[in-house]
Chain A
Amino acid sequence: MSGARWWMATILAVALLVPTVTRAQSDSATVTAPPAAEAVKPAAPATAAKPGTRDECMTCHLDAESPEAIAYKNDIHRARGVTCADCHGGDPHQDDQDAAMNKAKGFIGVPKKQRIPVLCGSCHGGQDSRFTAQYKLKNVLTDYHGSAHERSLDTNAKGAQCVSCHGVHNIVAVTDSRSPVHASRVVDTCDRCHGDALYMRDFNPSLPVDQKEKYLTSVHGQRNAKGDWKVATCVSCHSNHAIRQVKDPRSPVYPTRIPETCAQCHANQKYMAGYNIPTTQFKDYKESVHGIALLKKSDLNAPACNSCHGNHGAAPPGVASVTAVCGQCHQSNEELYQRSAHQPVFAEKKLPACVVCHGNHKVKPTSDAMIAFDEPAPCATCHKDDAGDKAAPAMRRIRGLIDSLTVGQKEAEAVLARAENLGMDITDARYSLKDARQSRVQSRVAIHSFVEKEFEEAARPGIQVVAKARAAGEAAIHEHRFRRQGLVVSTLIVTFAALLLWLKIRQIERRQRGEDS
């Protein structure tokens, strides 16, 4: 190699210097279960690009001890026959530098970052290349299109693209533990950007940057740290190439899709074998009030798995923290429970508070029948309807009050419906029943104090509203009857007057005829 050629090669090598692994992810188009525990295989030994042909790029750059060329010796692409020219262009068969790096032959030097997805996509984007069919390459470019990362790249060259996660010149198979997107390393790879507040400020300043810290506290994170590659990592939930913002309904972590995403592992008996936890949560959740509200009614206020278990720090709530978890939404219930007589007893017996009466994943709609001494009412588990149970009289009275409210409301609605069918305007009375419904809701909250007086204070106004509404309905029915009766009377009077008038006319005309004749 001549001196001039050596210098040119050195300058080119420096120009090609790009960070190797900066940001990483694993590889599958949709949300995937964590990869099965596979044997970590080293990359295949480097081979020549094509038997019988020389890759002059490698020859020259290895001579120049270019780090990229050295790294590329072990790159999976190299092993599969991808030459430098496949990405950088030029003619790899020319040993003359000018001829090899001839722009007329497509030499582009270091690809612009925004162009990298298209460049990689020439093989990994569903297009026919000499590698696509041979290695059954998936079309991941389509997944990447429209992703949050692509949008970040569109606005800023620092945005995430292929090499951000997979590295460059030293890419190995996803199943290779050296890959930055292997289950053992992917969290760190994502964290390189998502844990960097300064970096994230350019894209989404409101996004937390402590996901990794939380993940390390989660059951997933702890097991992952112990070498369990089956447990969920970032890509298991967020997907890999098609990552979208959480607020995007297409994202697997959009609220309505979270249960299904978690269920991919947690409802899979085979996959979960060995973890010794149930796999019925998703089925139970779908039947629960929360599941129906979120999945059927699309009420985004309803809790998904992460609302109770956390997302990045996912873990089952302990007995002591159940009330705090439920209290995120049911604040009043929690406050009343915390100062109730039940709280110390449940705590002492290590009973999981709210879950004792309402269940966990299969939270059923509450009903008045929950306050009863017979199974399956939850009260019946501990309380008996006998003189020995000091709470029994208060329970009976509370049940009486709630029944008065519920039954009274139904009766009032029936009376109002009758009045309405008669054509009477009962709008005000019907509107007032909203207060009764409100009172019912409040009394159902007040029950968590398990104090009769507090319950009565909530239920009594509703009972009074119901009574007034019913009275208004009955008054309307009475008024309707009065109108009919009034009509009969007035019609009779007017008819009688008409009759008298007719007789008078006949009398006058008879007299006139008499006078005429």
Chain B
Amino acid sequence: MPGLVSRAQEWIRERLNIDPVVEFASHKTVPSWKGSFWYYFGGVSLFFFIVQVVTGILLLMYYQPGEKTAFESVRFIVTKVKFGWLIRSIHSWAANLFILAIFIHMFSVFFTKAFRRPRELTWYSGFILFALALGFGFSGYLLPWNTLAYFATKVGTTIVAVVPVVGEPIMQFLREGKDVTTATLTRFYGLHVAILPALFTVVLGLHMLLVQTQGMHEPESWKELPAAKRKSMPFFPNFLLRDLLLWLIVLNVLAILAVLFPWELGEKVDPFSAAPAGIRPEWYFLFTYQALKYFPAKMGPIDGEVVGILLFGLGGLLWFLVPWWDGRTPAGSRNRILNYVGIGVVLFIIVFTVLGVI
């Protein structure tokens, strides 16, 4: 067996110059400290993305967008196709866990200040991946063409229209018209299975290249530690195998959720019916949706909703630009302002999500 492996390595080496890569991997290490656990959430997010790609391709074999086929084809998948119910349920569950993993990954990077120089580009690319993941969630939600998805999309795209000047054109672009119709469905389908995956793959490649070349961010407290006290573990095989171990555990969780709590299909869209009571967006949009409700109808001469949307836009922009404004706050590894901002955002998301659920 070892002979076979070495012969295979030799076969590859003759054709590809992999020595620099092997050399790099053999010397690459990962800081080993009490916060190392958070490093794995990048890998978990990647795992969910792979699951989404695989299950998405399988669903693509049967899914047909269209007024008379979208809902029916998904029903066909979950009732007639062998293990179709499992694939669809895994796809739906993994989509939510994917975004949850990205949230955790993003906040862990934020609180460990891992976005600081020279990793600004990693943060920016990560933020773009986060936005694309939300785009995946929003576009994929409509594809089964059920009542909940229809009205949630209607509400979601209406909120976009509130943005001054560009809001209305963006909404019409997303809907491909003034209302949510099968044209919207086709558009979302194109976004979900072609445009977003292509963009995501490119940005993900860049993100991972940056992570690999720059290595994991060392904790800020290490700056004051002597080199001897800075523990680390080899990336290969230690960290990679631990990553795989977590992936297996996550796979188990995913399978249990998908089987015991299969994702419901709901009722087919009836555009003429009234919106179901308690209509609300997916949980990851819920805090924004809920917070907007607390804005007064008018704030001076401007609609409260417009102010809210603009504030959220500004908040998102500031979040994206953290590496930029962090450098302008009082220096020091323990930037308290940053911590307060992070805790404030986490509390805001939790509180308004809970308010939206109850």
B97 beta carbon closer than 8 Å to chain A: no
B259 beta carbon closer than 8 Å to chain A: yes
Which residues in A have their C-beta under 8 angstroms from that of B78?
A: 425
Most chain A CB within a 10 A radius of its CB, from B238, B242, B248, B255 = B248
Q: Which of B241, B252, B259, B262 contacts A495 (CB 8 A)?
A: B252
A494 contacts B248, CB within 8 Å? yes
Which residues in B have their C-beta under 8 angstroms from that of A93?
A: none
B249 beta carbon closer than 8 Å to chain A: yes
Majority DSSP secondary structure for residues of A touching B:
helix
Q: How does the 8 Å CB contact mask read for A476-517 relative to B, with 1 for contact and 0 for none? A: 000000011011001100110110011011001100100000
B238 contacts A501, CB within 8 Å? no
Name A486's closest neighbour in chain B (CB-CB). B259
B132 beta carbon closer than 8 Å to chain A: no
* Tally of contacts, chain A with chain B, CB under 8 A: 49
Q: Which of B75, B244, B249, B262 contacts A423 (CB 8 A)?
A: B262
B238 contacts A509, CB within 8 Å? yes
B35 beta carbon closer than 8 Å to chain A: no
Majority DSSP secondary structure for residues of B touching A:
helix
Name B260's closest neighbour in chain A (CB-CB). A487
Number of B interface residues in the complex (CB < 8 A): 23
Which residues in A have their C-beta under 8 angstroms from that of B242?
A: 505
B134 beta carbon closer than 8 Å to chain A: no
Which residues in A have their C-beta under 8 angstroms from that of B86?
A: 483
Q: How far is the CB of B97 from chain A (nearest CB, A)?
A: 16
A289 to B238, CA, bound (A): 79
A494 to B233, CA, bound (A): 25
A504 to B252, CA, bound (A): 19
Which residues in B have their C-beta under 8 angstroms from that of A502?
A: 245
Which residues in A have their C-beta under 8 angstroms from that of B193?
A: none
- CB within 8 Å of B: which of A441-490? 483-484, 486-487, 490
B59 beta carbon closer than 8 Å to chain A: no
A423-B262, A494-B248, A502-B245 are contacts. A508–B237 as well, Cβ < 8 Å? Answer: yes
Q: Which of B75, B241, B252, B265 contacts A491 (CB 8 A)?
A: B252
A508 contacts B238, CB within 8 Å? yes
Name A422's closest neighbour in chain B (CB-CB). B262
Q: Which of A483, A487, A498 contacts B249 (CB 8 A)?
A: A498
A505 to B236, CA, bound (A): 11
Q: How far is the CB of A431 from chain B (nearest CB, A)?
A: 12
A487 to B244, CA, bound (A): 20
Which residues in B have their C-beta under 8 angstroms from that of A501?
A: 241, 244-245, 248
Which residues in B have their C-beta under 8 angstroms from that of A427?
A: 75, 79
Which residues in A have their C-beta under 8 angstroms from that of B262?
A: 423
A94 to B220, CA, bound (A): 121
Name B246's closest neighbour in chain A (CB-CB). A498
Q: How far is the CB of B338 from chain A (nearest CB, A)?
A: 34
A sample of 29 cross-chain residue pairs with beta-carbon separation below 8 angstroms, ordered by A number, consists of A425-B75, A425-B265, A427-B79, A428-B79, A483-B86, A484-B259, A486-B259, A487-B255, A487-B256, A487-B259, A487-B260, A490-B255, A491-B252, A491-B255, A491-B256, A494-B248, A494-B255, A495-B248, A498-B249, A498-B252, A501-B245, A505-B238, A505-B241, A505-B245, A508-B238, A508-B241, A509-B233, A509-B238, A512-B238
Q: A425-B79, A505-B238 are in contact. List 4 more A-B contacts (CB 8 A).
A: A425-B78, A484-B259, A494-B255, A505-B245
